[in-house]
Amino acid sequence: MPNALVAAALVLAVLVSAWFSFHPTVTEKEGELVPTKSGGIENKRETRTFVAAHGKVVILLLLLPIVLCGAALAARTTTAATAAGAALVGFVLIAAFFWTDVALYLPSALLMLIAAGLVELGVVEGEYD
């Protein structure tokens, strides 16, 4: 069961990172003023992907949660899952000052911490060292 939870955390991290890499989520602060059919004026703003808006260097930021989840899954220890989950929570808390959407990585962190907690509390055993 812990392996499945950590694998689910990894899948969620990959999906969230892919979402920010390929789906337009960032809207310009200011855009071009265009007339509407009703005679008013509308501020037309462009949306771009997170990578297109901030440059290719943010790919490293998007890969960090995947690496943390993958390391916990590869190590298969409660210590690794706890450390990766805590690091992911820390990453979310620090990055939230600059990018509020980073909170979408919290489910991955919680799954890893739950997996480690289940083993540590003796609810499940045998899958982790």
55-74 pLDDT, tens per residue?
A: 999 999 999 999 999 999 99
How would you class 102 by CB atoms within 10 Å of its CB: exposed for 0-12, middle for 13-18, buried for 19 or more?
buried
pLDDT band (50, 70, 90) for residue 92 = very high
Spell out the domain ranges in the chain.
Answer: 2-120
Sign of the alpha-carbon dihedral angle for 53, 54, 57, 59: negative
Q: Is it the case that residue 21 has pLDDT exceeding 70?
A: yes
